[in-house]
């Protein structure tokens, strides 16, 4: 029983990281109907910048809370700038082009960001400076650390903030209007370009926070960490219902738990026929199954247009 | 109303029943598009140009060897292999307008099919002439298996599902060494039988009329022959009923359906044809390289093939061939950048091998933004996309895009 | 048609004449990744081989009474299997009489087929995959203990620490090959493999597999993979409250592992083929000679040096640089190299290749024990 509890805990922590990244996909998709392949790379940038700044500042003897705050600020600044720039340069000119075009540029941008990061930071892994004093708590046979609790707390707070932003503010209303119908929103006086840029900015800021948390949790950052993470987060967004913010949250948590339980139990369940080597397959299988049988996801409304 | 599946059969019939006369009159003339549009209008010049091109292709490996060394013949072999793959993907992306990000899965299926049945893995050594076509057929089957449930999905969903499929295939290949050792897992399959000719392995040098033909040369001719076959089929498909149906779907799926095209079957056919070429390429890769492992079939490989199609010119055969040649040669050319930096700046700032993927990425973005028709677009599509009057292009595109959305 | 043949004939005879021109020097190929992430290791190989060749050339060698000089043809395989075959073809075409390389097993294996087809001996200083020498080619050799020898050492050592062993591999050719050998060795030594889990070479989250391993209560966890995975893995093990010993192969026996894992690295044990540089019979002298010319030894320089020596000694003994003549001498190699005594078994593997185990103590790798090789006697 303690093993099961531990696996569910593992899954929830992994899942809250997925959920934060999935939000970025879901917001952009909701408004532009575009899979922003580069979003995973923005998370990577956030992690790399945060780790670099933190390493620099702690080496200079800056107090830890201040250094953490500076790292977070720098990561958010770089990610927001990159996100908005990518939208402006690579997506906006193609907003009315055939669907294939922005999709291909999105892949291109993702490759470009990844390789620029590789050239800038090199191929070695960056290590997160040991500034967080890890405490291990035990209950009912399972363990949880203060860093893990922090991750879940930060994720919960940022996602709550996002919901407030979208539901309660003028900008949020403009976003929802643009998502429903871009042309009509424009006619109603919404500056569509500004709203879309703001969407990218908010999504990228979330990505920066997620990047910092991931680097802190696993202790490492690498130019290659974004793509697979992005794919899994996208699968989570689809599972929850793409374009739907609570859906991204639910999808992320579910995917995390499914992966954890899957990797933990598939070997025993299949008598050793399948093992934890198939851990990465779950996300893709879920993606394919959901898209075929319920393209609107768990929480999305049924969309008539999927042809 | 036609029965579903009828068009599929017809496409097969079209390229099986090709007679030589139409071959000479039509497709060969079309192929001379390679040289120039003007030649294409005069059949006599076209014939001469064609013969010249043929002769050039025949002696090319020897010219390349004399000028650049035999290494380049081997690079040429790989280039030829990628031409086949790119033409296969072009059917899916260029003709039918479906973004397939898991194309490498079919390449992998073809390669592993060949490897498993012609290597010490199971002690089976089936002949290559049986394995290559069956491998292509198996890949085709995989294409249908993937396509049947997913092709009703919208374009970007399809892209991500194919990507997932590609990864799933790779993960299975990497792990199917237990409980029954099928693929030998991450170790890959080694000692794969080469293609043989009259009992002699094509990988070994052989003497022909006092002329030593190295393995690289022999494979060049094998690949050239098959590439020409693939080019020929691609041309025939483009000009067929199916080809026009693909174009119709690409431009406007709803309108195409209204015109009585069974969009699902026609899309499925595009998937299947693309997969077939991928499988053929995979089999050849296995035989040529003698060693396959899951590392060779990553997502990046899919993206590289996509680059070839997009950079060269989606839907235009000569453009795609150009794209494949460029993308294959690029890393070799990049080797000169290291010494160049050394000379200009004094030390190597950016490792040339680090630049390769970056350039592909930039290429994808820049081409989509400024020249969506590719480096060497088809005359028809170029006219569609870039007419003389800039206002007209705007109008036409608006109309097209509106329809597509 | 006729003219084409003529051109072809002319071209090929020109190429033949060019290759016949250079005779007094014998070309030996050196292949390793010289660009990309492993460029420094590739350079290490090149420099090691160069040191050997320079020393031999300075001793005025002769082949069958004729004075001879050896020259290196250096090629970059970019650690890529496809490029490896392209440069292998290049070396063959340009008349290399023997090849030192490649670094990565994934490059050595496909390239070896080209060398074997052209009957050119290949001595790898660094490729450790078992498959490399087990393809049935007579031309493949290596001067480093292979993964089977390393896996055996790791497995034996693991059982010494505790009978219940859990293993994890990263599903790469290296990780899986190593762990297969570990599992075999553990069973032979009377241990029990209580859990086998898998990850990938890109994963960072191992909590799920570590939780299932924890439930099986092992005494030792052995990981086959590289440092970027080993480091977070050992951290996550510790946060899950596991105090189990953590072992791994040369993929994690690096300074990088200690840097990435921080305090969790303490006590981890990593193996590495060969002796530690300072314990090699010729280690001190080599470090000095190498240092004067090229600077610090990375890992492979002494192995590349000995690979070159082995290859050239066989030519000198046979009195010929023709592969067919000197291959029998190469098979019978019996020399004392920098890395220790070198002899090949019937596969071309290093006989009794030693494997050294290191442990992280106070943030540094320290040699604990050498298994196999001359030091064991």
CA distance C295 to chain A (A): 22
- Which chain C residues are Cβ-neighbours of A214 within 8 angstroms? 204
Do the chains contact at C12 and B211, CB–CB below 8 Å? yes
What integer pLDDT is reported at residue C19 of this predicted model? 44
Do the chains contact at C78 and B353, CB–CB below 8 Å? yes
What integer pLDDT is reported at residue B395 of this predicted model? 56
What integer pLDDT is reported at residue A260 of this predicted model? 93
Do the chains contact at B153 and A295, CB–CB below 8 Å? yes
Q: How far is CA B221 from the centre of its chain?
A: 18
**pLDDT tens figures, C328-351:** 999 999 999 999 999 999 999 999
- Which chain A residues are Cβ-neighbours of C203 within 8 angstroms? 279-280
Site of tokens 């095209």: B261
How do C66-67 and C245-248 pair as beta strands?
Answer: unpaired
B189 close contact with A: CB closer than 8 A: no
- Which chain B residues are Cβ-neighbours of C129 within 8 angstroms? 187
The CATH architecture assigned to C9-145+279-342 reads 3-Layer(aba) Sandwich (3.40)
- Which chain B residues are Cβ-neighbours of C8 within 8 angstroms? 59, 62, 211
**Smallest Cβ distance to C211: which of A123, A264, A277?**
A264
Residue A63 is encoded by which pair of tokens? Answer: 């107090």
Do the chains contact at A3 and C212, CB–CB below 8 Å? yes
pTM: 0.86
What integer pLDDT is reported at residue B29 of this predicted model? 44
CA distance C362 to chain B (A): 36
Do the chains contact at C136 and B191, CB–CB below 8 Å? yes
**Smallest Cβ distance to C228: which of A130, A214, A222?**
A222
Task: Tell me where in chain C the CATH 3.40.50.2300 domain(s) lie.
Answer: 9-145+279-342, 148-273+355-376
Contacts made by residues B54-63, CB under 8 angstroms, sequence distance 24+: B55/C4, B57/B224, B58/C4, B59/C4, B59/C7, B59/C8, B60/B220, B61/B216, B61/B217, B61/B220, B61/B221, B62/B217, B62/C7, B62/C8, B62/C11, B62/C12, B63/C11
What are the C-alpha distances in Å from B363 to residues A115, B355, B376, C356?
13, 12, 14, 48
What integer pLDDT is reported at residue B86 of this predicted model? 96
Give the span between the Cα atoms of A279 and B264, in whole angstroms. Answer: 33
SS3 call for C287: helix
Domain B46-333+355-398, CATH 1.10.3470 — does that match? yes
Residue B97 is encoded by which pair of tokens? Answer: 């307008």
Tell me how crowded residue C342 is: count the other CB atoms within 10 A of its CB: 22
What integer pLDDT is reported at residue A164 of this predicted model? 93
What integer pLDDT is reported at residue B200 of this predicted model? 79
**pLDDT tens figures, C211-222:** 999 999 999 999
Give the span between the Cα atoms of B304 and A218, in whole angstroms. Answer: 31
Do the chains contact at B361 and A119, CB–CB below 8 Å? no
Average pLDDT score over residue span C239-247: 93
Average pLDDT score over residue span C85-99: 90
**Smallest Cβ distance to C11: which of B65, B291, B353?**
B65
Q: What is the pLDDT along chain B (405 residues), one digit of tens a residue?
A: 344 444 444 443 343 343 434 444 444 445 545 444 555 567 787 788 888 888 999 889 888 888 887 788 888 999 999 999 999 999 999 999 899 999 999 999 999 999 999 999 899 999 999 999 999 999 999 999 988 888 878 777 888 889 999 999 999 999 998 778 999 988 889 889 999 887 778 877 777 776 777 788 889 999 999 999 999 999 999 889 999 999 998 888 889 989 899 988 999 999 999 999 999 999 999 999 888 989 889 988 999 999 999 999 888 999 999 999 999 988 778 877 777 777 777 676 777 777 888 999 999 999 999 988 888 887 766 555 554 545 555 555 555 555 544
Give the span between the Cα atoms of A262 and B396, in whole angstroms. Answer: 51
**Smallest Cβ distance to A123: which of C37, C200, C203?**
C37
10 Å CB burial of residue C290 (0-12, 13-18, 19+) is buried
* CATH superfamily of domain region C148-273+355-376: Response regulator (3.40.50.2300)
Comparing alpha-carbon positions, the chain B residue that sits nearest to A275 is: B175
Do the chains contact at A291 and B159, CB–CB below 8 Å? no
ipTM for this model: 0.89
Which chains border C (3 or more CB–CB pairs < 8 Å)?
A, B
**CB of B374 closer than 8 Å to CB of B316:** yes
- Which chain A residues are Cβ-neighbours of C231 within 8 angstroms? 125, 127, 219-220
Give the span between the Cα atoms of B313 and B307, in whole angstroms. Answer: 10
Domains defined for chain A, CATH in brackets: 3-306 (1.10.3470)
Longest pairwise C-alpha distance within chain C: 80
**pLDDT tens figures, C165-182:** 999 999 988 899 899 999
Residues 40-79 in C contacting B (C-alpha not used; CB under 8 Å): 76, 78
CA distance C84 to chain A (A): 21
CA proximity to C218, closest of C137, C259, C158, C287:
C158
Residue B259: phi, psi to the nearest 5?
-80, 5
Give the span between the Cα atoms of A242 and A248, in whole angstroms. Answer: 7
**CB of B199 closer than 8 Å to CB of B210:** no
CA proximity to C23, closest of C316, C320, C326:
C320
> Looking at the DSSP assignment, which residues form a beta bridge with residue C141?
C123
Q: Under 8 Å CB-to-CB from B56, ≥6 apart: which residues?
A: none
How do B211-213 and A220-221 pair as beta strands?
Answer: unpaired
Q: What is the pLDDT along chain A (307 residues), one digit of tens a residue?
A: 588 999 999 999 999 999 999 999 999 998 888 889 999 999 999 999 999 999 999 999 999 999 999 999 999 999 999 999 999 999 999 988 887 889 899 999 999 999 999 999 988 889 999 888 888 898 878 899 999 999 999 999 998 999 999 999 999 999 999 998 888 999 999 999 999 999 999 999 999 999 999 999 999 999 989 988 999 999 999 999 888 889 999 999 999 999 999 988 887 777 767 788 888 888 888 888 888 888 888 887 644 333 3
Q: How far is CA B364 from the centre of its chain?
A: 17
Q: What is the mean pLDDT of chain C?
A: 88
- Residues counted in chain A: 307
């Amino acid at each position: 029983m303690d093993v099961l509890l531990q696996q569910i805990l593992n899954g929830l922590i992994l899942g809250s990281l997925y959920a934060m990244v999935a939000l970025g996909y879901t917001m952009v998709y909701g408004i532009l109907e575009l899979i922003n392949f580069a979003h995973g790379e923005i998370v990577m940038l956030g992690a790399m910048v945060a780790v670099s700044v933190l390493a620099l500042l702690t080496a200079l003897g800056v107090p830890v809370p201040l250094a953490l705050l500076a790292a977070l600020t720098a990561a958010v600044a770089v990610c927001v700038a990159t996100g908005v720039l990518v939208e402006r340069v690579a997506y906006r000119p193609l907003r009315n082009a055939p669907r294939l075009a922005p999709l291909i540029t999105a892949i291109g941008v993702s490759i470009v960001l990844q390789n620029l990061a590789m050239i800038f930071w090199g191929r070695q892994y960056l290590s997160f400076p040991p500034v967080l004093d890890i405490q291990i708590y035990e209950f009912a046979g399972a363990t949880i650390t203060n860093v893990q609790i922090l991750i879940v707390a930060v994720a919960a707070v940022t996602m709550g903030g996002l919901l407030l932003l979208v539901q309660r503010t003028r900008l949020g209303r403009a976003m929802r209007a643009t998502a429903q119908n871009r042309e009509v929103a424009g006619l109603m006086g919404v500056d569509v370009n500004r709203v879309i840029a703001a969407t990218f900015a908010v999504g990228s800021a979330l990505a920066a926070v997620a990047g910092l948390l991931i680097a802190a949790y696993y202790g490492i950052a690498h130019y290659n960490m974004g793509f697979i993470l992005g794919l899994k987060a996208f699968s989570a967004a689809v599972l929850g219902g793409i374009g739907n913010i609570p859906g991204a949250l639910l999808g992320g948590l579910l995917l995390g738990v499914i992966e954890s339980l899957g990797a933990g139990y598939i070997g025993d369940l299949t008598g050793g026929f399948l093992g934890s080597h198939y851990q990465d397959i779950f996300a893709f299988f879920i993606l394919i199954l959901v898209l075929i049988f319920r393209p609107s996801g768990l929480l999305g409304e049924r969309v008539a247009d999927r042809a | 109303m036609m029965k579903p599946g009828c068009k599929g059969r017809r496409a097969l019939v079209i390229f099986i029943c090709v007679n030589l006369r139409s071959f000479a009159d039509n497709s060969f003339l079309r192929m001379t598009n390679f040289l120039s549009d003007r030649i294409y209008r005069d059949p006599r010049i076209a014939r001469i140009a064609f013969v010249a091109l043929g002769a050039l292709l025949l002696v090319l490996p020897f010219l390349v060897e004399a000028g650049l060394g035999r290494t380049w013949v081997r690079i040429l072999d790989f280039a030829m292999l990628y031409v086949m793959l790119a033409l296969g993907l072009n059917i899916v992306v260029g003709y039918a307008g479906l973004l397939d990000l898991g194309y490498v899965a079919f390449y992998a299926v073809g390669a592993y099919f060949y490897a498993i049945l012609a290597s010490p893995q199971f002690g089976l050594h089936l002949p290559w002439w049986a394995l290559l076509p069956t491998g292509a057929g198996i890949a085709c089957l995989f294409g249908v298996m993937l396509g049947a449930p997913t092709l009703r999905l919208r374009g970007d969903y399809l892209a991500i599902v194919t990507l997932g499929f590609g990864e799933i295939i790779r993960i299975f290949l990497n792990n199917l060494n237990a409980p029954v050792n099928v693929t030998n897992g991450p170790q890959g399959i080694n000692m794969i039988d080469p293609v043989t000719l009259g009992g002699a392995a094509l990988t070994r040098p052989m003497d022909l009329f006092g002329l030593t033909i190295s393995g690289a040369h022999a494979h060049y001719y094998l690949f050239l022959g098959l590439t020409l076959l693939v080019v020929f089929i691609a041309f025939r498909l483009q000009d067929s009923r199916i080809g026009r149906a693909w174009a119709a779907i690409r431009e406007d799926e709803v309108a195409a359906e209204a015109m009585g095209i069974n969009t699902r079957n026609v899309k499925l056919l595009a998937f299947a044809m693309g997969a077939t070429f991928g499988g053929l390429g995979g089999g050849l890769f296995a035989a040529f390289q003698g060693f396959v492992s899951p590392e060779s079939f990553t997502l990046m490989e899919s993206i590289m093939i996509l680059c070839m199609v997009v950079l060269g010119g989606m839907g235009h055969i000569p453009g795609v061939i150009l794209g494949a040649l460029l993308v294959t040669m690029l890393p070799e050319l990049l080797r000169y950048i290291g010494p160049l930096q050394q000379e200009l700046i004094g030390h190597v700032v950016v490792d040339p091998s680090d630049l390769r993927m970056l350039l592909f990425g930039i290429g994808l973005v820049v081409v989509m933004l400024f020249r969506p028709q590719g480096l060497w677009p088809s005359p028809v599509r170029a006219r569609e996309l870039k007419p003389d009057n800039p206002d007209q292009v705007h109008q036409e595109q608006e109309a097209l895009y509106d329809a597509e959305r | 048609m006729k003219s084409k043949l003529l051109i072809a004939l002319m071209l090929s005879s020109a190429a033949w004449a060019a290759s016949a021109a250079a005779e007094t020097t014998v070309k030996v190929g050196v292949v390793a990744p010289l660009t990309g992430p492993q460029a420094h290791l590739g350079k290490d190989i090149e420099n090691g081989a160069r040191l050997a060749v320079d020393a031999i050339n300075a001793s005025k060698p002769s082949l069958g009474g004729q004075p001879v000089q050896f020259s290196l043809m250096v090629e970059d395989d970019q650690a890529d299997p496809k490029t490896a075959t392209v440069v292998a073809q290049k070396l063959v075409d340009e008349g290399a009489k023997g090849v030192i390389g490649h670094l990565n097993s994934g490059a050595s294996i496909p390239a070896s087929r080209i060398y074997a087809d052209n009957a050119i001996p290949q001595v790898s200083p660094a490729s450790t995959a078992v498959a490399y020498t087990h393809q049935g080619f007579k031309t493949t050799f290596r001067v480093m203990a292979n993964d089977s020898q390393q896996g055996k050492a790791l497995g034996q050592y693991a059982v010494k620490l505790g009978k219940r062993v859990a293993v994890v591999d990263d599903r790469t050719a290296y990780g899986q090959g190593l762990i297969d050998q570990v599992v075999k060795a553990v069973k032979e030594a009377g241990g029990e493999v209580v859990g086998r889990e898998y990850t990938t070479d890109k994963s960072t989250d191992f909590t799920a597999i570590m939780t299932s391993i924890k439930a099986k209560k092992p005494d030792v966890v052995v990981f086959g993979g590289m440092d970027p995975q080993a480091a977070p893995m050992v951290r996550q093990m510790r946060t899950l409250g596991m105090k189990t010993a953590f072992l791994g192969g040369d993929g994690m026996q690096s300074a990088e592992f200690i840097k990435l894992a921080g305090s969790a690295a303490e006590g981890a044990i990593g193996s590495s083929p060969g002796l530690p540089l300072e314990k090699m019979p010729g280690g001190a002298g080599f470090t000095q000679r190498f240092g004067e010319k090229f600077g610090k030894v990375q890992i492979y320089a002494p192995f590349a040096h000995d690979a070159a020596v082995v290859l050239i000694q066989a030519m000198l003994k046979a009195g010929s640089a023709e592969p067919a003549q000197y291959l029998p001498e190469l098979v019978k190699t019996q020399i004392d190299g920098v890395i220790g005594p070198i002899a090949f078994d019937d596969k071309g593997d290093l006989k009794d290749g030693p494997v050294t185990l290191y442990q992280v103590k106070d943030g540094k790798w320290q040699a604990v024990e050498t298994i196999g090789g001359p030091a064991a006697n």
